[in-house]
Amino acid sequence: MHANVLIVTGSSGLIGSEAVRHLAPQFDIVVGLDNDMRRYFFGDEASTDWNRQLLERAVPNFRHETVDIRDDEALRRVFDQYGADIAAVIHTAAQPSHDWAAREPGTDFTVNANGTLNLLEQTRRACPEAAFVFTSTNKVYGDRPNSLPLVELDSRWEIDPGHPFAKGIDETMSVDDCTHSLFGVSKLAADMLVQEYGRYFGMKTAVFRGGCLTGPGHSGAELHGFLAYLMACVISGREYRVFGYQGKQVRDNIHAADLVTAFAHVIRDPRAGGAVYNIGGGRHSNISMLEAIGKMEALAGCKANYVYVDEARNGDHIWYISDNSRFRQHYPGWKQEYDIDMILEDMYAGIRQRLD
């Protein structure tokens, strides 16, 4: 008897855990691969082990495997165990910070690029018909968005309303001649590998170049997960540092649940040939740093303890809003449920509960 198996890498993280919870009813077995490297990257407070424990208690058909995606032999054992029963692979495991990547470029590259190559090869060998979903990043565009014609407003930067990207940045933006950060380079290498395995080998791969991915399941740290980390700082009174651009830098934020429903559409109806999608909150859900602080203060009923550092992070975006049009064209049934206020309310409730 054949089983219907889903493999999720980074299964204890924000997107991985949401994928496990959301998709588990559609599969016989969900195998989560996670070795809590987030603790290594960002310290004990960023550990995702709490999330693994929740999944093991709450999801009956979930099986956790402590596997490092750089370990090809360990991956081979997992893929051999389930073989052609593997219907889909969702790859969310990564070193996610462009600041941290400069500390250990080799670790960053081997996790992000080599780890992705290992997963693609094991999928091609053991279950070539499986859908392969990859969480890339908008950092593959480097700081190219900063060359757009931007206008400074009272609380945010905005793009010139007459520009073609006024509704958001689409997949035609160039990845060349800009500063990516080493993280951006390692993720771009992985991004291109996933595309190429789709085009060259005909695998059913999909690349999602995410804006800010967020939600109450995020183990936010200063170097990654700004909205979750800021919320935790506001609630606890810890000092938060705002880096550059007068705090008016804009990010679109997509709730993990909305992103995972996009994954579900791909898994139900995968396309061969290496599809690439910009995905984020878009015009539906975006916010500047100053605006986020104001909304969080209102939710928490207290003033945020933050300081301004007049030096932006290297390669950081001043303004980034995704255009989700290509994905909507391919999967018109997908809808975003969470706007920015709903995201903040959900995060406040979840983080407050965790901190208490």
Written as one letter, the residue type at 109 is F
Statement: residue 220 has pLDDT above 80: no
User: What pLDDT sits at residue 6?
Assistant: 98
SS3 sequence of 63-79: EEECCCCCCHHHHHHHH
| C-alpha to C-alpha distance for 299 and 230, rounded to whole angstroms | 13
For residue 31, the cross-strand partners are 7, 63
Using alpha carbons only, what angle is made at residue 190 by residues 189 and 191, rounded to the nearest 5 degrees?
90
Statement: residue 3 has pLDDT above 90: no
pLDDT in tens, 127-161: 999 999 999 999 999 999 999 999 999 999 999 99
Do the Cβ atoms of 199 and 274 come closer than 8 Å?
A: yes
Average of pLDDT values for 160-179?
97
pLDDT in tens, 223-240: 566 788 888 899 999 999
Among 38-47, 179-188, 200-209, whose mean pLDDT is lowest? 38-47
User: How does 294-303 read in b/e, with b if 16+ C-beta sit within 10 Å?
Assistant: ebbeebbeee
User: What pLDDT sits at residue 229?
Assistant: 84
Note the CATH architecture for domain 5-355.
3-Layer(aba) Sandwich (3.40)
Written as one letter, the residue type at 62 is F
For residue 288, the cross-strand partners are 250
pLDDT interval class at 1 (50, 70, 90): low
